[in-house]
Structure 1
Amino acid sequence: MRLIKVATCNLNQWAMDFDCNLKNIKDSISRAKHAGATIRLGPELEITGYGCEDHFLELDTVSHAWECLKEILLEDWTDGILCSFGMPVINGSARYNCQVLCMNRKIIMIRPKIWLANDGNYRELRWFTSWKHTDQMVDFQLPRDIADAISQTTVPFGYGFIKFLDTTVAAEICEELFCPDPPHAQLALNGVEVFMNASGSHHQLRKLKVRMDAFIGATQARGGLYMYSNQQGCDGGRLYYDGCSCVVVNGDVVAQGSQFSLKDVEVVIAHVDLDAITSLRLSSSSLQQQASKKVDVPFVVAPYKLCQSFHLDEPISCPLKTKFCEHKPEEEIALGPACWLWDYLRRSGASGFLLPLSGGADSSSVAAIVGCMCQLVVKEIHNGDERVKSDAIRIGQYPDGKFPTDSKEFAKRIFYTVFMGTENSSETTKSRAKELADEIGSWHLDVCIDSVISALLTLFKTLTGKRPRYKVDGGSNAENLGLQNIQARIRMVLAFMLASLMPWVHSKSGFYLVLGSSNVDEALRGYLTKYDCSSADINPIGSISKTDLRAFLRWAAVHLGYSSLADVEAAPPTAELEPIRSDYTQLDEVDMGMTYEDLSVYGRLRKIYRRGPVSMFTDLCFRWGSVLTPSEIAEKVKYFFKYYSINRHKMTVLTPSYHAESYSPEDNRFDLRQFLYNSRWPFQFRKIDELVKKINGDKVLAKSVDKDKPELVSDQVGGMGVAAVGSGNPNVGF
């Protein structure tokens, strides 16, 4: 038997914090060596942090990476263990995203990434070039100070693998696993047994299964030991990297790390029999035939052994009982944003969070996520995590010898919630906000802002001689909208004032971060006031749909212990910005003119499936054709695109949000589109009208041709309909 022990890592790196990153790397190597591993794999670009973005364009960033690598190589960190480090490398006139493979204080080879991630949240082609010479490796001249320090002048640079005395090892970097022709296919035919995938993969709801299926598929038919390492945590931006480092052998997951954790370093160990890979490959006739005519991949010879001889001291890692550990979407909403908030809080220097809590679904979801964060912190302290304990003592400003032991007590120290009521607010939402605050433990404030609104309206009347009225009182749409926006914007001003001054009131140092609470569907529709309390420092739910949030509220009412969330979820969504009358109650879906379910469909078609107005109409004719006429579908599509384009400018100032949904309309990083549109869409809407006429004409013709088979008529527009959707009220959103 050829036994090998390998270690792969979840590391919570921070872009441009080289001291933090180097400390985590060294810690992971120590743990790997202590466990007896002979291979240690870290995440993509772990030395700099993955999220440096335009800092990668600075020569300093590359120089500092080499300085950190030199520090590692000058000491005994790589003695007896193959370590793969992610960092940027400049070769000639090009900058590459590389894995630097080191052992015994030498660099064995540098493997540049050949397929770069350049869609969605990723812009690697902005900072790096891809290595295109997959049939060769070149000699790379090491920087002079590195060469002098480790007595090594050159190193093989390019695509290839390493031949050790007892096994073969190769790198496959993040995106390369998911491309149509992944490197591991040819590498396996060349006899590579161990694949090391260094990754910077962010969390997105329901994404983990796709990733895990790719690891399993990579080795299920070809055989192999597949190591996956990932960043974990917030490294300074909107993304949360969700770890889940794992080891897969011949299609079986034998070891897996956590997906959500407050730990800075997590090392996953697996003990593997490499002969099992050989056995699987030799049992496949087709694999052997393809291997006999393989395309040769360059390689480097390393005169070291990585395997151990047969022994019974430690069992071989067996397949996990479950295929892999996967959280429900409701749990992902709780855990991912909670971990992201904790990283942001401890690294920003803030003393806590402040949330305008209305008692509605969105702000209550944010409050519950902060409560979950407090629970996680107390749990990790109980489990003995000294780093979490130290951060919690500092942020909570505990006296000597004290530290958090109860999540509600901790929440009282670091979390303010504020109900900012007006004459339009109901007692029901007010009491729901107070009840939830009590369950979480936040320091809750209740303030009426009518006097501030009245002062502004009095000032307006002094300036203009007019006083606006609500629509229910006979006012125009402009008056109605203006009155609602005044309330919303005052809440934003008050929230920031309280966040900066309440610590002072309580004799605390520092400041609080204001949390936003608009969801992805409202942002897509533009159903929010520009610079209202949706404008905040950060927003943990800004990329989560209303449908998912409501499922989360039901889950959290039970699993987080906040029972009042059940009543919050059951209540119809309302902004409570208009007067309540016996014959009128303001409802979000009526104001928007579309349901939240509709918005999720529009959002996915617009972004994920890249549908413009015309193709969205034709698509929905198939989806909704059994419950809506083509004319009704056309009106819904035109209505959506009208208000989407009218309100697109709001995305330019959208609060930075945790990225969780692939149809996010976030303008600054993810959804790069214009913000000035012709909201009439004359060309596209005309094409839709022409299609409606054609479909209606075809239906009339179909009826006249075959009156005995009326069921065929509906088939002209498809029969794949979903549940009926309302046409909505054409009131203007804000």
Structure 2
Amino acid sequence: MNFIKISTASLKTRVSDVDYNTTEIKSCINEAINANSKLIIFPELCITSYTCADLFYQQKLLEKSATAIKNLCDFSAGKDILISVGAPLTFQNSLYNCAFIIFNGKVLGIVPKSFIPNSSEFYEKRWFSNGNKIKSSNVNLFFQSSIPFGVNLIFKCDPFKFGFEICEDLWAVIPPSSNLALMGANILCNLSASNELVSKSTYRKNLVDLQSAKCISAYAYASCGVHESTTDVVFSGHMIISENGSTLNENERFSRESDIMSAIIDIDKLNNERLKNITFRDNTAFYEEEIVEIPFIYSDTSIKKFDRYIDKHPFVPSNISERELRCKEIFNIQVAGLAKRLSHTGLTKTVVGISGGLDSTLALLVMIKTFDLLNLPRKNILTITMPGFGTTDRTYNNAVELCKNLGTDFREINIVDACIQHFKDIGHPTSVHDVTYENVQARERTQILMDLANKENGILVGTGDLSELALGWCTYNGDHMSMYSVNCSVPKTLVRYLVKYVADKEVSKNISEILMDILHTPVSPELLPKDATGDIVQKTEDIVGPYELHDFFLYYFMRQSATPEKIIFLANQAFNDKYDETTIQKWFDKFLHRFFQQQFKRSALPDGPKVGTISLSPRGDWRMPSDASNNAWKS
């Protein structure tokens, strides 16, 4: 499935002791191979050590360095791993700080450092020349001739394409890695020697994450460690592996032993992002230089132990503080969307159906904050509860108490008699509890809400969420329709956290207690008669499947355009402690069937704000024929 495991290395070195450093490099290579890695990135000038200073002028050191490269080539023969090491290179009477890329017994290519720092604690220009003008050249070493040399080299084993830059290059206004990405590289590598200063590690990490995001790539960074010379500065051996803006792995700095760090990269994810990103595609037109692709072939890229972290709930940050910030931002986006709609229309009233469930609760909380923001009285929010055949005391009481405590204009309209009359009108027995029985109730409620909105000169605010839209779990021209839908791009797994955020941060204790009970109520449309005990009999997740699975399927189907095989594989990895493979497959088949079958509902959606990276709006993110076939996605 085009995953690849890569490693970075932080070395225990001795300054100018090439033999010792080479031994440590070999040890790390073996460790990476044992970890099933297919690439290992060593720090800048790791063969000699970075802090040799004027010793770089010594012919003996340069000879030892070249011999070490030969030694590593011999060592790499028969090994299925791409190796990048830092070493000096003499070329046309100048010395260059280079990355040597080695695979299976030979040097595939050599990449010079483009930008040489020469200020503050760095004074590399005393020894090294800028390599940014070197393109499509060749160099000869004593053991190998005609080795590609330049900054325009891409090392390619489809679909994996590697590009290399060195330390300061990343700090440039336009880093070489930006050009390498436009040339096709999807794994960018940095051999570095970045000293430690207060807060510099945070800046460095942000820089790596940002570059991986801008380049829609993986970015692997390896810096030299504490055994470099400490005459003036200290190095920490910082290592970072990021993927499209997210840190996959970061080491504990200041280790005194050689160490490797690994992560699994999802190349299909990156390539799909590039395919959809028009700005990235357009930027490739600006790169007109010759691209030198250097092919090589891995004998096997299968991953023996898949240890990439797969989040069960990709819409919900696992970090608590980050989750709180995300919820606050989403809530404010919803509020801003509704506020604009009210100010544009000049209307000062809203209508919403309150069931005592999560979605209508979230919509009401958005309305409360919007009205407070616009200095409108909460009594202008008409909250309507419409008990039917399946309404339970728990949801009814929660709806009543919530609206009263929030100070809205609360009204109750029982729909039972109206529905019974409608059953008579269309000749439907009340004893037949089929889809007609359910949809009559949903449409009766929407008719009441729409007509009340007209009567009160307001707008009907919709409550349906993204997960329900994906599954088509709504009644066409019933709860499917509104005049503005504030939850339309909020998935069900996130609705819970948004309501909890408001309960924790935005409301009084008594309201918070009501919200917490709503959070612990099973999700149900309550359209079928309750049982003898008065409990809910119709639980949505028993019918359509767990929402956490459907949100997982939706994320990978929409965000990454992943194949069914990959989605099932990732779901098995994420939920192996909760669902077996048969259960996951069953609900994925249900997801696919309903997603394709119910597109006609999404083709006629009301307006509503996009809050995350995924939306099913027919005017924006998702344009799909209502009669498209899902046969190509069936297993």
TM-score by length of 2: 0.47
TM-score by length of 1: 0.41
